[in-house]
Structure 1
């Protein structure tokens, strides 16, 4: 059987200007600083084409010209790097009770973040708060509003599967709203709408555990449990944006078959603690219980290990990732405990002797991973041209 290899390569006459700009920006981002000839060799573009693109990018304020570096014969080559203040990406996470916003610069560094209570989740009210926070973010960063490259919007999934009553939407007021069209119009920006697990997965590519990893799965602990799947550096979204709804699958457990997120999720843990008279509404409260070796929390961890192990084996065999990353709104101590507690199956394609990465890792993006990931969607679009078959 013949397979097609995907190459994010440039082409001199036939590719779009946008594609080649993304190609050059991506090479500069990965290298930190790089010369025109190196970009040309890596991208397949001619040196003249690269020179023209760099001139455009520098003129747009996206690149900085640095020192000259000698590499053998010829004149020393000018090195180019990203201008951090050349562009900004806005990330917005909408939860039923809170609105989170982050502003990233072109290097992917967070220059502003804010968490604010959300009392009214109607589209008009949410949008008004986002506009206020966008203004505050740009003012704090001292950024030109014209430098805002786009906005990533994160909302709980699944999308477009049934009526609000049937699926118990966390944001029922949005059930009949085309969120992409709504926010594109309201913010007057390019907008990328994603579920929280996908956005968090992209956050890990931006300086997190997924940086430099082409194929990985991200198991996201939000209120429930979601899965972001990254392959060739791109999200796998599915026909309707619902790929990775891992929390809905049925897995074995010590108490028989269970729906995964009813056994392994933050809501599952909090419900278990509430049944035993313990209120733990925040990650800090959960971390304190873990540090105190609370017997009820430890009991839940023991119960969660088996269904989580089955889910991980399923992900490995279906997706063949380089690694699976665990992260989100769960304390690091609990994630580390779950990673150790999983009895990883040897009946998995990931059970290989030669591995560059462990089968399970904890993410590094923290509790605002989905918010930062929303902004990272904008940066990823700017730096990563779509893969094409050759």
Structure 2
């Protein structure tokens, strides 16, 4: 059986018969049901290369836990039709929280990965201790409404992580979160916690739910308050040593340009980010503000789009030359029409991506919406629970995916 170890596509596994591999075997069965829909015992045994009794025991266990449904017998040829089983959408759920400088986005996914709750809140304080209390309250309220067991919690934050004190004054990053780990959050919240940076979570979301679902190699430029890059290589997230791979916001693109809180001048983020847009507009970006300005065709917004497009051109070429993605996806907290206008404003320059055999545009709009990073956060524990080969950070691992 061919096995592709990729996010969101063709991901499967072969079971292991020894008893010590029971957890792995459960994940193999769940993953096949996730990918292929309802199946019978014989189909699952053949696909997993497990014995029929082993598959039957796993299915009985999953039925008892409410994670799968017995769909009954489906007529198929002669003889007694086989029983078919499927994932139970209400059998379990996961929570995802994107904590950014403008507030907190909450997403709840059911066992099939469908969003059942999506909302935004604007707490007065984003200090870790205050956010922790808010998350505890949110989790208690969500658990009262959500069906089934809670598989885990994903938390995403703006990067970069664990950098020096020059970052302390950066308005695009959270203050006070430097020493907060997945393990400390897990202990405080009473459930397994996965942590990731927002750009990586956005890339994961686009791979699972959006524009990168059919791609093996993709780069996702994510607009939070700042700007970051999530990279998918053969379907796997590229994290780097400390989870900071793709930190394009602090690449100098304008020598001796605008001063940046990181201590440099001319960083990309100073021209292409929501924070840069707020400066160009001379206003705080409240929810819905950019959409209203777009509808009015505000000249300040249009001017920023034109300028940002010019700065995106060399950055896109750099990403293409270094990573050779099938496409660069632009996603995040900008309205879709604004992102589309931004893409149209990029005067693309030659790179390895500029070849006549291209089937995809070099730049394309993300499809998982403004909550893309929070969706990715909720997907972290979901796919850890359902897939046989882990590609996400373990609950007790360091922030940013270090194992």
TM-score, with length taken from structure 2: 0.83
Where does residue 34 of structure 2 map in the other structure? 29
Residue from 338, 352, 358 that aligns with 1:334: 338
Where does residue 111 of structure 1 map in the other structure? 116
Question: Does the alignment pair 1:102 with 2:107?
Answer: yes
Decide whether the 8 Å contact of 1:215 with 1:230 is kept in 2: yes
Shift of residue 148, structure 1, vs aligned partner: 0.5
Structure 2: runs of 5 or more not aligned: 6-10, 259-264, 392-403
RMSD: 2.9
Residue from 255, 269, 290 that aligns with 2:277: 269
- When residues 87 and 168 of structure 1 are mapped into structure 2, their CA distance, relative to the original with a 3 A threshold, is same
1:36-75 aligned within 5 A? 36-69=41-74, 75=80
Most deviating of 44-53 and 56-65? 44-53
User: 1:243-279: CA deviations, max 9, x gaps?
Assistant: 11121123369x89942211211111111121xxxx3
Residue from 319, 322, 329 that aligns with 2:326: 322
Where does residue 361 of structure 1 map in the other structure? 364
1:136-155 aligned within 5 A? 136-141=141-146, 143-144=147-148, 147-155=149-157
Helix, strand or coil at the partner of 2:161: coil
Shift of residue 113, structure 1, vs aligned partner: 3.2
Where does residue 196 of structure 2 map in the other structure? 194
Quote the Cα distance in structure 2 between the aligned partners of 1:187 and 1:23: 29
- When residues 210 and 53 of structure 1 are mapped into structure 2, their CA distance, relative to the original with a 3 A threshold, is farther
1:1-390 aligned within 5 A? 9-13=13-17, 16-69=21-74, 75-141=80-146, 143-144=147-148, 147-163=149-165, 168=170, 170-175=173-178, 177-251=179-253, 258-274=266-282, 279=283, 281-282=285-286, 284-349=288-353, 351=355, 353-355=357-359, 357-386=360-389
Helix, strand or coil at the partner of 1:22: helix
Most deviating of 187-196 and 228-237? 228-237
- When residues 22 and 86 of structure 1 are mapped into structure 2, their CA distance, relative to the original with a 3 A threshold, is same
Helix, strand or coil at the partner of 2:361: coil
Decide whether the 8 Å contact of 2:17 with 2:50 is kept in 1: no
- When residues 251 and 41 of structure 1 are mapped into structure 2, their CA distance, relative to the original with a 3 A threshold, is farther
Quote the Cα distance in structure 2 between the aligned partners of 1:48 and 1:343: 61
Decide whether the 8 Å contact of 2:16 with 2:24 is kept in 1: no
- When residues 212 and 22 of structure 1 are mapped into structure 2, their CA distance, relative to the original with a 3 A threshold, is farther
Shift of residue 73, structure 1, vs aligned partner: 6.6
Where does residue 398 of structure 2 map in the other structure? none
- When residues 281 and 165 of structure 1 are mapped into structure 2, their CA distance, relative to the original with a 3 A threshold, is closer
- When residues 235 and 120 of structure 1 are mapped into structure 2, their CA distance, relative to the original with a 3 A threshold, is same
- When residues 341 and 187 of structure 1 are mapped into structure 2, their CA distance, relative to the original with a 3 A threshold, is same
Decide whether the 8 Å contact of 2:199 with 2:373 is kept in 1: yes
Shift of residue 330, structure 1, vs aligned partner: 0.5
Decide whether the 8 Å contact of 2:100 with 2:224 is kept in 1: no
Where does residue 399 of structure 2 map in the other structure? none
Aligned length: 375
Helix, strand or coil at the partner of 1:53: helix
TM-score, with length taken from structure 1: 0.85
Decide whether the 8 Å contact of 1:65 with 1:80 is kept in 2: yes
Shift of residue 61, structure 1, vs aligned partner: 1.1
- When residues 38 and 113 of structure 1 are mapped into structure 2, their CA distance, relative to the original with a 3 A threshold, is same
Helix, strand or coil at the partner of 2:288: helix
Decide whether the 8 Å contact of 2:98 with 2:377 is kept in 1: yes
- When residues 134 and 164 of structure 1 are mapped into structure 2, their CA distance, relative to the original with a 3 A threshold, is farther
Most deviating of 73-82 and 325-334? 73-82
- When residues 88 and 95 of structure 1 are mapped into structure 2, their CA distance, relative to the original with a 3 A threshold, is same
Helix, strand or coil at the partner of 2:134: helix
